[in-house]
Structure 1
Amino acid sequence: MTAKGTFDITVWTPQPPVHERDGVTIQLVTLNKTWHGDLTGSSVVTMLTATTPVEDSRSYVAMERFEGTLHGRSGSFVVQHDGVSDAGAQSTLVRVVPESATGELRGLRGQIGISIAPDGTHSYTFDHTL
C-alpha cells in the first residue's frame, strides 16, 4: 500500500553542539511534526546532525515516533532516518523500526520517501505493508 500527504515541522529545537572542530559541528536537535493526508497525527524526532564548512554537505541520523492514524487505523510506530547531502545531492532512507508499531498498526513495515518543494513544503510517500 502507499500513503501520501504532507507534514509540517512545528518545533525545531537545536541543543548546544556536542562537538566542534575544523568547521565540522555535531549537534543534537529535537523537533515536532504534524502529518496530513493518509498519515494523520503528530511525531517527535530526536536527530543528530553533522554540518561541514560546505553548506550543501551535511548528514543526519534520527529516531522518530509517530502517533495517529494511517488510512484510518490508529496507533503509533517508530521510524529510523539516515540522510546525507553531498554537495547538494541528497539521499535519505526512512524506514519503520520492525515491531515498533502499536494498536491497529501492529505489524507495520515500510519506507517513507520525503521531498521538499521549492516553496519549502514537505511531502511524503509511504510504501508499506500491514
Structure 2
Amino acid sequence: MTTAARGSFELTSFEPETVDEADPGAALGRVRITKTFAGDLVGTSSVHMLSVNDLDGNPAAYVAVERFAGELAGRKGSFVLQHSAPGSGGEHLAIRVVAGTGSDELAGIGGTLDIVRAEDGGHTYVLNYTLTTS
C-alpha cells in the first residue's frame, strides 16, 4: 500500500560552483545543497547536483542525488533520492527513492517525491512511498 507523506523543507545552504565557464557552449555547474525537512519527514538532507544552463544562461537540466537522514512518520533511518530534470522544454521533474538505500527502520522504502515551489520561494513536498519489511 502506498502512503503519502507531506510537509515542507527549507534550503539551509546553497553552494554553487561553475565547472567550465571558459568552454564554449552550454555552461555546466555543480551545487551542494543542504535542506531541513518538517512535516511527515523530519530531518536533514545533503544534495549533490550537476546542472546545465543553455546558451542564454537559463536553467536547462539537472541531475542530483540527495541523502535524507531523520524520521519518516516516526520511523528513523535514511534513504537516497535521485533527481532528474531532463530539460527546459516542459519535461517533468522526476524524483525517486533509490532502491536498496533505506537504512534502519526505513529499510525497504521505495517511492517518488513531488516538490511544489511557491511564489514566495517556499517548498512543499509529497512523498508517495511504500515500506516493505523483511
Q: TM-score, normalising length from structure 1?
A: 0.91
Gaps of 5+ in 2: none
Post-superposition shift, 1:18? Answer: 3.7
Aligned to 2:129: 128
Correspondences of 1:10-25 after superposition (within 5 Å): 10-18=12-20, 20-22=23-25, 24-25=26-27
Q: How many residues align?
A: 128
More strand by share: 1
Amino acid at match of 1:121: G
Post-superposition shift, 1:90? Answer: 5.3
Equivalents in 1 of 2:74, 2:51: separation in Å? 33
Correspondences of 1:1-130 after superposition (within 5 Å): 1-18=3-20, 20-22=23-25, 24-54=26-56, 56-86=58-88, 89=90, 91-130=92-131
Q: Give the aligned CA root-mean-square deviation in angstroms.
A: 1.6
Equivalents in 1 of 2:60, 2:13: separation in Å? 21
Gaps of 5+ in 1: none
Post-superposition shift, 1:27? Answer: 1.0
Post-superposition shift, 1:21? Answer: 1.8
State the SS of the aligned residue for 2:119. Answer: coil
Q: TM-score, normalising length from structure 2?
A: 0.88
Equivalents in 2 of 1:91, 1:45: separation in Å? 19
Equivalents in 2 of 1:59, 1:92: separation in Å? 9
Post-superposition shift, 1:16? Answer: 3.2
Task: State the identity as a percent.
Answer: 37
